[in-house]
Amino acid sequence: MPRTEPISGETYAALATEYSTGINAAELKLVDFLTGIPHDARLSTALVLRRRTTSEAHRYAHAADLAARMPDLFDHFRSDGRFSVDHLDAIWSRINRHNRALRAAGAEVPDLLDTAVARLLTQWIRNTGNTIHTALADVTDEILCTLAPLVAEATETDEAAAVSLTRRGTRLTLDCGSEVTADALWQAIGTAALTTRREMTDDDRPAPPMSRCRGQVALGALGGRRDQLTVTVNAYRPHGDAPAYVLGTGWVCPTTAAELTALAARIRELPDAAEVPPTPSYRFTTLQRALIEGRDGHCRFPGCSVPADRCDHDHLVSSPHTDPDSDGDTCVTNGISLCRTHHTLKTARIWTPTSLDDAVTLHWTGPGGVAVSTVAAGPLSPTRDPFTALSSTAPVQYHPRACPSSSCMTSGKPTSPPPERSGLSTASTSPSTKAPSGDSSAPTVRGKPPRSRS
């Protein structure tokens, strides 16, 4: 029923409170469930249950760790209703920052500190009524620095000596190790950026923003010029006018696809998967890997988004090379893409996948009776949406070198209508051959005749 009256501020506040209390309760219920899962399986279980991001799964795993270590504080949070998984994660992060120093301090120190921190935090919350999670984090820091000043000092010394550079998307994150170093670098880059800014500004061009100028300075210092880099891009494209699927990026428009193809040093035409026979070796061949990656798109573990070309190629049914009692073939239909982390969990039998349709659908079972299925979603997957299936897929694999030159893999174009890849080839995977259960969305693929493969 549509509301006919506006919600008053008072009513809205009550709704918001009720809403957030409900969310908090649900979150902490999941945290409580995770405390019953073995420590080393909590992260993957959180990822499977939530299917959000890895960073979100980390927050749940951290919260469960803290809840198990501080049961009284956790009970307080659950009964209060105003605390969320973020509050637990914030406290966990502040304490965990000192992990190394705490371990070095002696076996009993972490437990003693946990007990003291939980008691003082509970007391602080009762006294102040404060539920702001940044305040909670700051108080946690204050307690740690007061109760264990030598531990805090050891941590700060370690951090000052450690730097790291990480990447997410187009962003590089440089951890300078300390605020002091970060400040000094920022000033130096800012000074150089001012010079760059003057050079980039003239009567016809307005001054660019300082953030861009700092970026130019940093890229120059890091050698971020394309003509100095060698880049490998694996793309799948059905034919010359079609969009292409780039592993790790997703679909790009026909123009970009054409640019990638033009830069490619190599283009491979892919046959239908059904036409690629098993091989006696343990390792998958280059052609098998291209077909597996094209079918999967990314790691097949539920919720994981590591691109398939950065994954391991694992035997769904173990190969006799590693398990004499098993008879898994080295072939496309027995190969799956798993990132190293999830490959390790499968090998340890913490999570086990099975498939009834040649690895198109994987049924995962794991800790706590959790069962989830994933379906291959790459450009060659037989279950792809018909809309994209019509226009897509041939793998273009290119290894640009110097201002990206590349090699492409493509396959021939099909003359028929196909979900298969047309053009470049790739084959479509023919799921049909083995898919037992009728997957209505699966195109019947008959792959295109392979043309040539470079």
Smallest gap from residue 168 Cβ to Zn ion (A): 16
* First CA to last CA distance, the chain: 62
Smallest gap from residue 99 Cβ to Zn ion (A): 24
Q: Cα 197 vs. chain centroid, distance in angstroms?
A: 36
Of residues 46 and 73, the one with the C-beta less far from Zn ion: 46
Beta carbons of 397 and 245 less than 8 angstroms apart: no
Of residues 247 and 299, the one with the C-beta less far from Zn ion: 299
Place of tokens 């795993």: 61
Smallest gap from residue 262 Cβ to Zn ion (A): 33
Beta carbons of 131 and 82 less than 8 angstroms apart: yes
Smallest gap from residue 300 Cβ to Zn ion (A): 8
Binding site for Zn ion (CB under 5 A): 299, 301, 304, 306, 339, 342
318 vs 328: CA distance, rounded Å: 5
Of residues 264 and 306, the one with the C-beta less far from Zn ion: 306
**CA distance readout (Å), 63 to 34, 83, 93:** 9, 11, 9
Smallest gap from residue 304 Cβ to Zn ion (A): 3
Of residues 346 and 413, the one with the C-beta less far from Zn ion: 346
Smallest gap from residue 276 Cβ to Zn ion (A): 25
Under the phi-then-psi rule, with left for phi > 0, alpha for psi from -120 to 50, and beta for the rest, what region is 358?
left
**CA distance readout (Å), 39 to 69, 97, 350, 378:** 12, 19, 11, 32
Q: For the purposes of burial, counting CB atoms within 10 Å of the CB of 122, is it exposed (0-12), middle (13-18) or buried (19 or more)?
A: middle
DSSP 8-state assignment for residue 449: P
Contacts 24+ apart (CB under 8 A), 317-326: 319/282, 321/282, 322/282
Of residues 306 and 409, the one with the C-beta less far from Zn ion: 306
Of residues 27 and 312, the one with the C-beta less far from Zn ion: 312
Beta carbons of 412 and 451 less than 8 angstroms apart: yes
Of residues 83 and 301, the one with the C-beta less far from Zn ion: 301
Of residues 98 and 342, the one with the C-beta less far from Zn ion: 342
Smallest gap from residue 252 Cβ to Zn ion (A): 23
25 vs 32: CA distance, rounded Å: 10
Tell me the residue length of the chain: 454
Smallest gap from residue 143 Cβ to Zn ion (A): 37
Centre a 10 Å sphere on the Cβ of residue 237 and count the other Cβ atoms it contains: 35
